[in-house]
Amino acid sequence: MIAKLAAQTLRMRLRSILIWSLSLSALTVLMVAIFPSIGKIDFEQLLKQYPKAMLEAFGIEDTSQYSTPIGYINAELFSMMIPLAIAFLPLGVINQCLPAAEERHFLDNLLCTPVARWQVLAGAAVAGATALATVLFAVWAVTLLAAELLDVNLGMADLARSCVSLWPLASFVASVGALMAGFGPGRGRALGAAGGVLVLMYMLPVIAAFDHSFAQAQKLSVFYYYNDWLKHGIDWSEAVAVLAAAAALTAIGAVLFERRDIAS
């Protein structure tokens, strides 16, 4: 049942998956294309002029990262722009399937077929996670192809690591949307709450870099782990923990959804 629901959702979102893939790939390909000229600039000299705390805040601990293509793409795109953007893909899918569908009276039909409410929510979560994986794979493949054509030495495994790191991160943000869907209808509510959590989580490690009293608090942020994965490789136990937290939030959302009134 969950598979049927997820498959239908993915069919309906095919176009948006394509658009996401194309626009994110365009960004990464652009970075690959301009790297050869950027690579000639002596960033180490340039960046040494800035205070260390500020560089840290922007995830630039090691100024030498700009000298490799993957380091450059990670710093320019994967450390902020892409994660902040792509979290809205699975979040949008969940939002469309639940709060927005409820607002538009779609759920009165769907929930009068023999599907359980929790299955509708699980189907949306699966569709969101699948759409996300598809876009990440497309970005990875297109970028590699572009690097090959432009003769830029972009490691297949390094780029894969950056893409794969995004999956637990964005899934977690989407699960906040799933939790909110458990509370009630309204497109704005789930998007707003999850978007807020996303920005907050992004800011925590940034603030912690300036103010060390946040050193412990930043561990509540998925970005704390994500930043680390980008630099030092994915810590699988951390990744599993993030996904488990996402599953837990989704499950709580499902329980709430089972017990509440469907809005008319």
Partner 1 sequence: MNGSESVIETHGLSKHFGRHRGIEDVSLSVRRGEVFGLLGPNGAGKSTAIRLLLGLIRPSAGSGSVLGLDCWRARRAIHRRVGVLPSDFAYEDMLTGREVIDFFRRLRGLPADGRADELAERLRADLDRPLKQLSRGNHQKIGLIQALVHDPELLMLDEPTGGLDPLMQEEFLRIVEELRDDGRTVLLSSHNMAEVERACDRVAMIHQGGLLAVETVDSLLSRAPRHLRVTFDGPADAAPFAALDGVRDVRATGNSVEMDVAGDINGALKLATARHVVDLVCERPSLEHAFVRLYEDEDSGGEL
Binding-site ranges for partner 1 (CB under 8 A): 1, 4-5, 8, 12, 104-106, 108-116, 259-262, 264
Q: In terms of CB distance, is 145 or 263 closer to ligand ATP?
A: 263
- Report the site for ligand ATP in 225-264 (rule: CB under 6 A): 263-264
Partner whose binding site includes residue 109, from partner 1, ligand ATP, none (CB under 5 to 8 Å by kind): partner 1
Shortest Å distance, C-beta 262 to ligand ATP:
9
45 binds, among partner 1, ligand ATP, none (CB under 5 to 8 A by kind): none
Q: Do 249 and 227 meet the contact criterion of CB atoms below 8 Å apart?
A: no
Which helix (H) or strand (E) segment holds residue 53: the answer is helix 52-57
Q: How far is the CB of 9 from ligand ATP (least distance, A)?
A: 26
Q: Which is nearer to partner 1, 44 or 258 (CB)?
A: 258
Q: Which is nearer to partner 1, 14 or 220 (CB)?
A: 14
Q: Is 103 exposed, middle or buried (0-12, 13-18, 19+ CB in 10 A)?
A: middle
CB of 9 to partner 1, least distance (A): 9
The verdict on 220 binding ligand ATP (CB under 6 A) reads: no
- Which 151-170 residues touch ligand ATP, going by CB under 6 A? none
Q: How far is the CB of 190 from partner 1 (least distance, A)?
A: 18
E-strand ranges in 159-218 read none
In the complex, least distance from residue 259 CB atom to partner 1, rounded to whole angstroms: 8
Q: Are 103 and 186 in contact (CB under 8 A)?
A: yes
Q: Distance between CA 80 and CA 89 in Å, rounded?
A: 15
- Select 108 or 258, whichever has its Cβ closest to ligand ATP: 108
Select from ligand ATP, partner 1, none the partner in contact with residue 151, using the beta carbon and a kind-dependent cut-off of 5 to 8 Å.
none
Minimum Å gap between C-beta 218 and ligand ATP is 42
Q: Among residues 193, 140, 185, which one has the least CA distance to residue 167?
A: 140
Whether 128 and 91 have beta carbons less than 8 Å apart is answered as yes
- 215 three-state secondary structure: coil
Contacts of 166 (CB under 8 A, 6+ apart): 78, 82, 83, 86, 132, 136, 226
CA–CA gap between residue 50 and residue 43 (Å, rounded): 11
Separation between Cα atoms, residue 75 and residue 90, nearest integer Å: 23
Distance separating alpha carbons of residues 22 and 26, to the nearest angstrom: 6
CB-wise, 104 or 212, nearer to partner 1? 104
Partner from partner 1, ligand ATP, none contacting 115, C-beta within 5 to 8 A by type: partner 1
For residues 185 and 219, give the distance between their C-alpha atoms in angstroms, rounded to a whole number. Answer: 31
Nearest approach in angstroms of CB 47 to partner 1 is 49
Nearer to ligand ATP, 76 or 102 (CB): 102
Q: Which residue ranges make up the site for ligand ATP (CB under 6 A)?
A: 263-264
